[in-house]
Amino acid sequence: MSPFRASYLAIITLFLIMLAPMLTSCGAASGNGQGGERRVKIGLVTDVGGLNDNGFNHLSYVALRKAILTLGVRGSVVESHGGDDYEPNLTEYAAQGYDLIIGVGFLMQQAIGTVSAEFPNTHFAIVDGVPTDANGNTVQRPNVASILFREQEAGAIVGVIAGMLEKTGQTKGKANTISAVGGISIPPVNRYIAGYQWGAKLEDPSIKMLIGYSNDFSDPSKCAGVAKGQMAAGADIVFSVAGGCGLGALQAAGQRGFYSIGVDTDQKATDASVIASAVKRVDVAVYTVIEDTGNAKFPAGQDYFGLTNDGVGYAPGNLPLSPAIQSEVTKIEGKIKSGSITVPDKL
């Protein structure tokens, strides 16, 4: 055999070896483990916060990536840069024949309501919302799954932590004042804040609570500005509930040596000031909907995730919590799970 032919065969062999995993993947199951079937196609449409929000958009993407690797689905994602992008992005996936289209965020409710009516044979899911009409009224769609969370329960736990730290004088300012920086005043944001306020006042009824909104979910400078104003007014624990915008609030707290609390996912790596994060396990919930859809068990209607089914909780941060605080957190979690106490979901 000539050196040229040997080299040629070696190149072809290497190419086939590299191609083999791709070919195997293309024949993967559509969610039920049976090879050779058409793969389920999943489209993910983010909210304006984008994939780098370190919050629910990112977690939804984590779920999609996991489903691609473990369930063999085909996945695609498009980021929305404004409210006008929602309907076109959802419609594009539906027109391409995607099996499940996931819209991330409360602000996408009307778009989901509209597009799901135009494509009744396509499955849709929305994180933090329900399908609505143009007037904001909830509409029934048998092809829509609403992934909802009891954010107030996660907010309550970090509120307990904040309240105990203030009550025992373990904060820098010792001003008995805490704050929350919300993105836009919508139900998921306000449920977090309502629980936070309730948990803090449960531990210290005299605690003062400052609440402000940036009216933005993506610009960190806007949340930083709100947080700076709150800290100037005495707040020395800042709870950020604003997606990517909220990262600015966490960093502003760190720059001034105050404490902060993250949201949606474990944000302790974002800034040294983060002492805990109120988390909702969007990745788990979205993955479950993808898996159920692939197994022909699409979960139409509203499904709630809270402490009782491990849908929300809290993640420890950069401040070691005392045994007394840990014990109190465990006690309150138990009471919420048992139903002996109910956390309010409104301010």
Q: Which domains does the chain have, with CATH numbers?
A: 38-149+285-305 (3.40.50.2300), 151-280+317-338 (3.40.50.2300)
**Cα(35)–Cα(27) distance, rounded to whole angstroms?**
6
- Within 13 Å, how many C-alpha atoms sit on residue 150's CB side? 19
Cα separation of 90 and 102, whole Å? 8
The pLDDT tens digits along the chain (347 residues) read 444 344 434 443 343 334 333 332 332 333 344 445 678 999 999 999 889 888 889 999 999 999 999 999 999 999 999 999 999 999 999 999 999 999 999 999 999 999 999 999 999 999 999 999 999 999 999 999 999 999 999 999 999 999 999 999 999 989 999 999 999 999 999 999 999 999 999 999 999 999 999 999 999 999 999 999 999 999 999 999 999 999 999 999 999 999 999 999 999 999 999 999 999 999 999 999 999 999 999 999 999 999 999 999 999 999 999 999 999 999 999 999 999 999 999 99
Look at residue 37 in the predicted model and tell me its pLDDT. Answer: 65
- The confidence score (pLDDT) of residue 55 equals 84
**What pLDDT score does 49 carry?**
86
Residue 342 CB partners (closer than 8 Å, separation 6+) = 336
Helix/strand/coil for 136:
coil
Measured over all CA atoms, what is the biggest interatomic distance in the chain, rounded to whole angstroms? 89
Which DSSP string do the residues of 28-56 spell out, in sequence order?
--SSSS-TTSPPPEEEEE--TT-TTSSSH
Report, in this order, helix, strand and coil percent for the chain, each rounded to 5: 45, 20, 35
Of the candidates 32, 85, 261, which has an alpha carbon nearest to the alpha carbon of residue 159?
A: 261
Query: Are 305 and 82 contacting, i.e. CB atoms less than 8 angstroms apart?
Result: no
Q: What was the pLDDT predicted at 188? A: 95
pLDDT of residue 17: 37
CA distance 16 to 20: 6
pLDDT at residue 53 in the model: 84
**pTM for this predicted structure:** 0.84
Q: Which amino acid belongs to residue 43?
A: G
The pLDDT assigned to 36 comes to: 53
pLDDT recorded at residue 71:
96
User: What gap in Å lies between CA 144 and CA 114, rounded to an integer?
Assistant: 11
CA torsion 227-233-236-237 (nearest 10°) is -50
Phi, psi of 306 (to 5 degrees): -140, -160
